[in-house]
Structure 1
Amino acid sequence: MTRVNLTAHGIFKFACPDEKAQAFLRDTKTPGLGVRATKSTKAFIFQAKLKDGRTIRTTIGDVRAWGIDDARREARRLQMLIDQGHDPREVQREIIAETAEKNERTRARQAPALEAWAEYIASRRHQWSETYALQHEQAAQAGGEPRRYGRQGETIPGILRPILARPLQQIDAATVQAWLKTEATIRPTRARFAFAILRTFLNWCAEHPDYKDMVQPGACDSRAVRQELPKKKARQDALLREQLPVWFAAVRAVRNPIAAAYFQALLLTGARSGELAGLKWEDVDLVWNSMTIRDKVEGERTIPLTPYVRELLLSLKAINERPSNVVALTPEPRTRSRTSPKSSPWVFPSTRSPSGKRVNPGTTHKRACTAAGIDHLTLHGLRRSFGSLAEWTETPAGIVAQIMGHKPSATAEKHYRVRPLDLLRMWHTKIEAWILEQAGIEQPNERQATPVAVHSTT
């Protein structure tokens, strides 16, 4: 390595000989500093020995970007690191790693809370029901997508989208208060639910190592925020006894026989809509007339298969053997092929649902209720109707609660009442018979096995 006093002119004239791959100039003023030239590049380098005797060489930078004085200062800095027992290359790697980490923290602070929201859902999904996970996804959806199930128009942004589109550290009490004040006047029930899942999400972030430093303390707990929270009101929607004839007539006239059977079974079993939608044929015992429902309280419960509901399910089995009679929840484009429910494990299948089971049929039920002149009756209102109408039959409250899957309300119910299925069947059949009588429908004989007539489109 030739030693010279590095100058701009000398560096400009310095070139790599044709017979060599590289050539070096060494500065006489600054130990370790030199210039390395190849056929295409020319750069300042630093070469020195570490305290353990190893020789290192590192590139400072291109001679077109670095001045000689700057290169000399950098060489002296590197030599000082060696004198202090450090390897300049390791120091440089640590600096790069720290810079990358700092940039990542900065990016994370500036990134929308939607990223943390997606990670939150992924980490908790295994603990949630399918419906609960879907509610979280819909709460943050961007909107603007074509509506599914044949509905016109586009989806609207989720109720939490305005909040979660902000960086996490910007979700403070003032932001939550303003959002809640707006939403509470438009959709108070959904606003209350959205606030609850938002608070749970922020609590999760406060314990997560990547997000705990970004969460604003008290974002959902200040008095000003709580004052904007809508009061919780118990829903009162339920069918009246005198409404049963028109409701059954409207529901049985629904174009889709699977939806028609689903709505009637909801009323006559008192099951939650998601529980019944998740019913599989393997859960139905048509020999001993029982069905096992996946229960959010106890895990599962077995309830009687009453005569009319049994005939509804037999009708669905008959429809499975006639695929041409199966119709979607709403009319499908003719270009789409339909899959027969015969190949589906679900009792109430859907050809439009990704999971294959019935999802969100509330719109169809709402149309049927409108045709019957009944306002504001939800699918959960059918479950409420079962419990309310059962009182007309003087069925013991504990029997009704066990059929519906409610938690025991007293010590005696919890520890001293073990009701066999036959006892539940006696009362459940009585409840069904009374409801059908009020609707003007004859209850099938328990020994009969002929499917009830349900409307289908051929």
Structure 2
Amino acid sequence: MNTHQTPAQKITKSYVDRLSTPETGQAFIRDTELKGFAVRITSSGAKSFILEKRIDGKVKRLTLGRYPELTVEQARKEAHKLLGHIATGRNPVAEKKQEALQGTTLKQAFDDFVKTRKNLKERTLYDYRRVMSIIFADWQDKPMIDINKDMVSKRHNKIGAERGEAYANLSMRFLRALFNFAIAQYEDGSGKSILHENPVVRLTQTRAWYRVERRQTVIKPHELKPWFEAIMNLKNDPISQNRETIRDYLLLVLFTGLRREEAASMTWANVDLQAKTLRVTDTKNHSDHNLPLSDFLYDLLQNRKARAINEYVFHRASGTGYVSEQRKQMAKVIKESGISFTIHDLRRTFLTIAESLDIPAYAVKRLANHKMSNDVTAGYIVTDVERLRQPMQKITDYILKCAGYRPSATVTDLSEKKSHKTS
């Protein structure tokens, strides 16, 4: 913006009224009586009073107010007051910014958090929004500075009693992340954080986090047959046209160990039926995940490809998007088979079977797409997708034998085998 310098004048009401509007940019007229005091006029004709002063080694420009809402005398008095503050070591710029930011609400911070964290996965963003709208609905309009440790502790206990201990911990981990973001994001003019402490630290200081054992459930070998039969009984009908798609989705998770969203959002662009491979690009560890297709998976995906109606492998019957709600059909399988399971149980089952078949540890890690950044040896091992083909087929064959889709074989209870190894 063009800035026009005008000779200093004594700033009075009559002088401000007579000021000419610059054709472009803005013009500054500095006062001859009070150093740093000035009036600014823009090409739109807007007039405002400012104060320029060196603060903490840098010249700062403070806007006092617009004319005529603020009179010349009022502006001059405000300038005198601020100069007095600066003389005693105060920083009006920092104070003004701090005052504005102290009113930042939890919702405003969350909105800024989402804008800044551009790479949040769709599922993660969905979970965060759900926690905001359900768990912290009554806190959304609260200034963050007013949310204290006692409030956090009481809310943690309330969530634990009403929604479960795991969900209480999850909600507070989210709140902790939001406060950490705000501490780093909102600083006053001196670069000091507006928030001095994360109130969620109370849970750590008092050791109040719930001890939630990591879930270790899998579908045991002897349970695969009834589970498989119930899955294969999912057939489309006039009421539900997505059953067979959900059936194939659950089977793919079991036979690949992919995570919930990685499998659900898979597109045909990442499936190579000719090379018999699939690729997952939007992974938890941000590394592309390439897997070979076993014979069973190849047949499953080939059949789906013949009926494809959009870019997604597991498309909705409506033709838009992919299936994201599987609970109703999972409940049907659980009721029919008597085998309770979650989608992540299918991933655990895949990896437990892989380990039980004495597949090399590095191959298991590659199949799971686990990072091996702390393993020096792993850094020297290049695992091509073709080297995973035999282990992949071996896992598939075992699952199908247990499910009765191959000639009978002696089936070891993996849970017992694991207990012997760890005892």
Distance 1:221 1:248 in 2: 46
**RMSD, matched Cα:** 3.4
> Hey, what does 1:137 align to over in structure 2?
129
CA distance in 2, matches of 1:250, 1:227: 44
- Give 2:82's aligned residue: none
Provide the rounded CA distance (Å) in 1 between the counterparts of 2:377 and 2:336. Answer: 41
Whether the 8 Å CA contact 2:373–2:379 is kept in 1: the answer is no
Q: 2:316 aligned to 350, 356, 360, which one? A: 350
Give the equivalent residue in structure 2 for 1:308: 296
- The yes-or-no answer on 1:364 pairing with 2:329 is yes
Pick from 154, 157, 166 the counterpart of residue 189 of structure 1: 166
1:238 aligned residue (203, 218, 221): 218
Structure 1 position 383, deviation (Å): 0.2
- State the shift of 1:373 in Å: 1.1
Shift, 1:241, TM fit: 0.7
Q: Aligned pair in 2 of structure 1 residues 346, 206: CA closer, same or farther (>3 Å)?
A: same
Give, as a single letter, the amino acid of the residue that structure 2 aligns with 1:229. W
- What corresponds to 2:372 in structure 1? 408
Question: Helix, strand or coil: the match of 1:140?
Answer: helix
Higher-RCO chain (CA-CA 8 Å, sequence separation at least 6)? 1
Tell me by how many angstroms 1:189 deviates: 1.3
> Shift in Å at residue 104 of structure 1?
9.2
Structure 1 equivalent of residue 186 of structure 2: 209
Do 2:105 and 2:141's aligned partners in 1 also have CA atoms closer than 8 Å?
A: yes
Task: Give the aligned residue type for 1:291.
Answer: L
How much does 1:223 deviate?
5.6
Residue from 176, 181, 184 that aligns with 2:152: 176
Query: What residue is the counterpart of 1:428 in the other structure?
Result: 392
Aligned-pair distance for 1:108?
A: 5.6
Q: TM-score, normalised by structure 2?
A: 0.69
Matched residues, percent identical? 20
Asked whether the 8 Å contact 2:354–2:364 carries over to 1, the reply is: yes
In 2: Cα distance, 1:428 partner to 1:399 partner: 10
Q: TM-score, normalised by structure 1?
A: 0.64
**1:62-106 deviation line (CA, Å, top 9, x unaligned):** xxxxxxxxxxxxxxxxxxx8865756774489433699x999976
Give CA deviations for 1:200-256 in whole Å, capped at 9, x if unaligned: 110111122368755352411136765321124211121011110111122222242
Confirm or deny: 8 A CA contact 1:304 1:421 kept in the other structure.
Answer: yes
| 1:166 matched residue in structure 2 | 142
Looking at structure 2, the residues matched to 170 and 353 of structure 1 have their Cα atoms a distance apart, in angstroms, of 47
Q: What is the CA deviation profile of residues 244-298 of structure 1, one whole-angstrom value per residue up to 9, with x for unaligned ones? A: 0111122222242111100001001111111112321111111121111223325
Residues 208-217 or 179-188, more deviating: 208-217
* Alignment of 1:112 onto 2:105: yes
Distance (Å, rounded) in 2 between the aligned partners of 1:104 and 1:420: 55
Q: CA offset at residue 418 of structure 1? A: 2.7
Tell me the residue number matched to 1:6: none
Question: Are 2:153 and 2:202, in contact at CA under 8 Å, matched by a contact in 1?
Answer: no
Change (3 A) 1:57 1:307: closer
CA shift for structure 1 position 349: 1.8
- Asked whether the 8 Å contact 1:177–1:224 carries over to 2, the reply is no
Output one character per residue of 1:370-406: Cα deviation in whole Å (capped at 9) or x when no partner: 332122x211111001011224433223222211212
Relative distance call for 1:92 and 1:265 in structure 2 (3 A) is closer
Alignment of 1:79-98 (within 5 A): 84=34, 90-91=48-49, 94-96=63-65
Distance 1:413 1:128, change over 3 A: farther
- Asked whether the 8 Å contact 2:253–2:347 carries over to 1, the reply is yes
Unaligned runs of 5+ in 2: 1-7, 19-30, 40-46, 52-62, 67-74, 79-92, 237-242, 408-423
Q: Secondary structure at the match of 2:334?
A: helix
**Distance between the aligned counterparts of 1:387 and 1:164, measured in 2?**
41
CA contact (8 A) 2:248 2:300 kept: yes
Give the Cα–Cα distance (whole angstroms) in 1 for the partners of residues 12 and 109 of structure 2: 49
CA contact (8 A) 1:109 1:214 kept: yes
* Pair 235,429 (structure 1): closer, same or farther in 2 beyond 3 Å: same
For residue 257 of structure 1, give the secondary structure of its aligned residue in structure 2. helix
Give the aligned partner of residue 84 of structure 2: none
Question: How far, CA to CA, are the matches of 2:343 and 2:265 in structure 1?
Answer: 15
SS at match of 2:324: coil
| 1:412-439 C-alpha deviation (Å, 9 max, x unpaired) | 6513433333331112111101101111
